Amino acid sequence: MALWKLLLACLHQVDALDNGLGLLPQMGYNTWNDFECEGVSAKNISKVADKMVELGLPALGYEYLIIDDCWADHRGKDGKLVPDRNAFPHGMKHVADYVHSKGLKFGIYMDRGRWTCAGRPGSQGYEEVDAKTFVSWGADYVKTDSCNGPDSLEDPPSAAAIAQYQLFRDALNATGRPVFLALSGWHNWYSPYGESLANSWRIGYDVRNWQSAWNFAIRVNGFLSDFGGPGGWNDPDMLVGSSSKTAVQMTPQQSRTQFSLWSVMAAPLLLGSMLSMGHHDLETYTNTEVIAVDQDPLGIQGEIVWENCPLRKRTNIKQSQFYDEIPACQQVWARPITDGFAIVLLNLDAEKPANVSFAVSDVCWSSQAFVGKPCNFFEEASVRDLWRKEHLGIRKFINVTLARDGASQMFKIKPIIPQAPHTSAKKKTPASTATGHRPKSRHREPVSSHFSVALETDAVHFLQQPDEL
């Protein structure tokens, strides 16, 4: 790209989205993983709304019902999008009114390019019209996709894509209605700009099964924790679930792991099955203690605090439509929350179970814990298993056996901080640093939203080789 264009892009950048929304990651339901393009209709949306209420989901925080691609048919003579008449015979406001009457919020889908991913009309050149139309229907949430626009598949930051998203952001703002804006650009280079553009932004391609969950979400999001927080969140894509009647699915075990990990990642919790949701997934999605981790008001995204997986550098995490093999290794993710830490121990090995022994004090290596307050040295913590819903007492270690193929366990710990005999301004160093089995604490500068700033190079260390640390 010519330098002048880049400079122009910088000049035109308004650096804030300030709609007051997204103080916590969004929760709700989206039609895509359930229906894809088949059966997105007023009838089915009403059924979904009824089922959400029947299951008590709104009271747990699942407030948005979002219609994904395939609702739009054509653009009318007046320039406005016209919904498919067979599927939405009374128009879209009628559907939104029904959703609202159930106490839910209404979400709709558009695409920044000429056509949507499924080939329906896109919003390029119609940003203002479409923003006004969605608001006239009562939309509370808009998902903005990225197919068929300029530079949509470019890997480095794309000025054209960012400019298009700014146009729509500003058009929505001009309507005067606060509308949650979910950017779906499926590239991790959006993260440093995300907060200025949207309330959430996708960091990779679609998660459709366990392998894509690893490739496009889990192996990527550990690098991006600096960018998510109240007002704007990294979005590792929607929940897949294990119903065999939906368009995509995982095993029940992987589905539960996805929910645990997504909560530790402070990710949006958007359900992908409703009418055919089975008992196991319902139990997963209604675990209030895990939901509380996701919705923790500190809004700190969790990180990998221990792993034996091969070294990955952020610069090597290329967006690729092709899947890499899932490595046969284990990880521990931790997230600082209001009253301690949430921890997920994960076995990625597809073939073999694994024993993991995790020293609770190692959560201190969650670098965000150092921001603003020292992570006090401690050896013991009171431990609660969030799936068995059992207190395990005070522990130095959490020792678990994890089944193969995406099994995990999730805990909450409250550190027991020893009483210091003397107050000292000096931050204590964890005593077991010498074992060398943890990553270095990563000091991070706040990243400016200025367009020309490149992503910092960063690496998750290969913890089985202490020499490298």
355 is an interface residue for ligand NAG by CB under 6 A: yes
CA distances from 279 to 35, 61, 254 (A): 20, 19, 15
- Collapsing DSSP states into helix, strand and coil, what is residue 414? strand
19 is an interface residue for ligand NAG by CB under 6 A: yes
176 is an interface residue for ligand NAG by CB under 6 A: yes
Q: Which residues contact 181 (CB under 8 A, 6 or more apart)?
A: 17, 19, 21, 141, 142, 144, 168, 169, 172, 197, 198, 199, 200
Nearer to ligand NAG, 46 or 148 (CB): 46
39 is an interface residue for ligand NAG by CB under 6 A: yes
Binds ligand NAG (CB under 6 A): choice among 288, 357, 435, 452: 357
- Collapsing DSSP states into helix, strand and coil, what is residue 88? coil
Provide the β-strand partners of residue 312. 460
Binds ligand NAG (CB under 6 A): choice among 46, 173, 209, 382: 173
Binding segment for ligand NAG (CB under 6 A), chosen from 171-179, 192-200, 331-339, 343-351, is 171-179
Catalytic residues: 145, 206
- Collapsing DSSP states into helix, strand and coil, what is residue 67? coil
Rounded distance between C-alpha atoms, residue 225 and residue 128, angstroms: 33
Nearer to ligand NAG, 41 or 367 (CB): 41
CA distances from 99 to 27, 40, 110 (A): 15, 14, 19
Rounded distance between C-alpha atoms, residue 83 and residue 93, angstroms: 10
Binding segment for ligand NAG (CB under 6 A), chosen from 173-181, 266-274, 444-452, 460-468, is 173-181
**Least distance to ligand NAG, CB of residue 247, Å:** 9
Nearer to ligand NAG, 215 or 243 (CB): 243
Cα angle, residue 230 at apex, residues 226 and 232 outer, rounded to 5°: 70
**Least distance to ligand NAG, CB of residue 295, Å:** 22
**Least distance to ligand NAG, CB of residue 360, Å:** 11
43 is an interface residue for ligand NAG by CB under 6 A: yes
278 is an interface residue for ligand NAG by CB under 6 A: no
Count, residues near ligand NAG per rule CB under 6 A: 21
CA distances from 316 to 155, 232, 453, 469 (A): 12, 25, 18, 19
Binding segment for ligand NAG (CB under 6 A), chosen from 33-41, 92-100, 182-190, 326-334, is 33-41
138 is an interface residue for ligand NAG by CB under 6 A: no
421 is an interface residue for ligand NAG by CB under 6 A: no
Q: Which residues contact 234 (CB under 8 A, 6 or more apart)?
A: 191, 194, 200, 201, 203, 221, 224, 225, 227, 228, 265, 266, 267, 301
91 is an interface residue for ligand NAG by CB under 6 A: no
44 is an interface residue for ligand NAG by CB under 6 A: yes
Q: Is 120 left (phi over 0), alpha (psi -120 to 50) or beta?
A: beta
Our CA dihedral for 162, 167, 168, 171, rounded to 10 degrees, sits at: 160
464 is an interface residue for ligand NAG by CB under 6 A: no
**Least distance to ligand NAG, CB of residue 302, Å:** 22
Nearer to ligand NAG, 26 or 215 (CB): 26
**Least distance to ligand NAG, CB of residue 393, Å:** 11
Question: CB count, 10 Å around CB of 364?
Answer: 25
Burial zone of 241 (CB within 10 Å; 0-12 exposed, 13-18 middle, 19+ buried): buried
Binds ligand NAG (CB under 6 A): choice among 91, 138, 178, 230: 178
Q: Where are the alpha helices (DSSP H) in 410-450?
A: none
31 is an interface residue for ligand NAG by CB under 6 A: no
Give me the residues that bind ligand NAG (CB under 6 A), please: 16, 18-19, 35, 38-39, 41, 43-44, 173, 176-178, 352-355, 357, 397, 399, 401
